[in-house]
Amino acid sequence: MVDGERANPPSDKALERRTGRWLRSEPFECFVQVAPGLEGALAEELRGGGFPTVVAWERGGASLALDHADVMRANLVLRTASRVLLRIGSFAAATPEMLFDNVGRIPWELHLGRSDTYALRITSRSSKLQAGDGVANTIARAVAKRLRPLGLHPAPAEHATLEFAIRIVDDRCTVSFNTSGEHLHRRGVRRHVNDAPVRETIAAGVALHAFRAHDVIVDPFCGSGTLLLEAADLVAGRLPGRGRSFGFESAAWHRPGRWREVRRLATARAAEAAAAPAPRLVGMDVDPEALAAARHNLSEGDHAHVDLALGDATALDLDRFAAQRGLVVANVPYGVRLGERADAATTLRRFLERCAAATSPWDLALLTTHPHLVREHEALEVEHMRTIASGGLRVTMVTARTEGS
């Protein structure tokens, strides 16, 4: 090619051939990310979903080899996962030159195809190369150098459907394609939120961890209803990703026909796993505004059967639900603001008294900043405690049980 002459971009057929060859090289090295502390819940989901054995666990996620169908399925079905990253490069990068050369060896055309833009999310730790414009420009130059001769000219952008995670640790760089796109806690449903809504992925972790075969599920501090939404979807076998799109749908290697088949099979399989008979779901909150948000979120379609009422959890009477085996799920007030901690502790103490007063057996799955109050309660038997990073806050997920009096 003469300088200044622009190559023709590859034809549809040529791109399909190249990406098809790459797809046949499955399985791909992937990392399923989760909120730190929720690894146990993710492990259960991966096992229950028939995903391949995890190669390595680290705080915040699991490395495993997924085939093309499982990359799509993981995004669609995993309730606790935050992102599914597909590793496309891993190399030493102690200098900008090393970074440039190695980034240029990655077959970007397989992922970007004829896309106009892509986004880079760069993090760096214990390394000479720092996250910032310098690294971003080096990567963008290397991508452009590789793709120009192929007639492809994508430009880096702040936001784009095709997003790549660049992680530099100890002078080693890992480049991953974010197959999820937006974080998976965004379920694709517009929601009304009140104070301190919990992330859907964490709410799912609570519901999953506790759920066995309960006939009644109550959230006495329901706020905008996130825990109830997740519990309702779980027991009904509705897939968390059913209402949204994913980053992989924009990749050059995407095959819409295979995706439709993965969705069809996963939807059928989840429906088979639905709890039968369905438990009764009940939400309460002392604040009318919070309850209005919950009513909005739980008023339609799939969730219209959830009972909601104003109520004070410190006066809760679990016996009135006449449960054989009930489950209380709750994100109890944290009291993180000055002067509210004592109030939050008093509320939790009184609420635990009400749980302990139940005459039938109840399981509890709570998110709390006061786990010691649950552990120290003589009528409650604690099963698990996990500290979870929830936004900027560390909360503890506690599961406990009371056998009834």
Binding mask 140-169 for ligand SAM (x = CB under 6 A): ------------------------------
Residue 312 as a binder of ligand SAM (CB under 6 A): the answer is: yes
Alpha-carbon distance of 254 to 248, in angstroms, equals 6
Among 37, 61, 181, 220, binds ligand SAM (CB under 6 A): 220
Q: Give the nearer residue to ligand SAM in terms of CB position, either 180 or 331.
A: 331
Considering only 38-46, 74-82, 153-161, 194-202, which stretch makes contact with ligand SAM by CB under 6 A? 194-202
| 163 class by beta-carbon count within 10 Å (0-12 exposed, 13-18 middle, 19+ buried) | buried
Alpha-carbon distance of 72 to 248, in angstroms, equals 8
Residue 308 as a binder of ligand SAM (CB under 6 A): the answer is: no
Residue 247 as a binder of ligand SAM (CB under 6 A): the answer is: no
Task: Classify 400 as helix, strand or coil.
Answer: strand
Q: Give the nearer residue to ligand SAM in terms of CB position, either 106 or 293.
A: 293
Binding mask 349-368 for ligand SAM (x = CB under 6 A): --------------------
Q: Give the nearer residue to ligand SAM in terms of CB position, either 317 or 403.
A: 317
Beta bridge partners of 125: 169
CB-nearest residue to ligand SAM: 223
- CB count within 10 Å of CB 101 equals 13
Among 10, 37, 113, 223, binds ligand SAM (CB under 6 A): 223
Q: What is the DSSP string of 176-230?
A: EEESS-S-TT--S------SSPPPHHHHHHHHHHH-SS-SEEEETT-TT-HHHHH
**Residue 52 structure tokens:** 């391949």
**Residue 398 structure tokens:** 């506690």
With residue 57 as reference, give the H or E element that holds it: strand 56-58
Residue 227 as a binder of ligand SAM (CB under 6 A): the answer is: yes
Alpha-carbon distance of 358 to 400, in angstroms, equals 14
Strands 326-331 and 216-219: parallel
Residue in the structure block whose two tokens are 């996990």: 386
Residue in the structure block whose two tokens are 């009644």: 216
Residue 333 as a binder of ligand SAM (CB under 6 A): the answer is: yes
Alpha-carbon distance of 160 to 116, in angstroms, equals 9
Q: How far is the CB of 83 from ligand SAM (least distance, A)?
A: 21
Among 63, 115, 117, 314, binds ligand SAM (CB under 6 A): 314
CA nearest to 373, candidates 401, 392, 354, 345: 345
Among 179, 347, 369, 390, binds ligand SAM (CB under 6 A): 347
Among 120, 162, 290, 323, binds ligand SAM (CB under 6 A): 290
Among 16, 29, 287, 302, binds ligand SAM (CB under 6 A): 287
Among 89, 197, 283, 371, binds ligand SAM (CB under 6 A): 197
Alpha-carbon distance of 334 to 95, in angstroms, equals 45
Among 99, 217, 308, 313, binds ligand SAM (CB under 6 A): 313
Q: How far is the CB of 295 from ligand SAM (least distance, A)?
A: 12
Give the interface with ligand SAM as residue ranges (CB under 6 A): 194, 196-198, 220-221, 223-224, 226-227, 284-287, 290, 312-314, 331, 333, 347
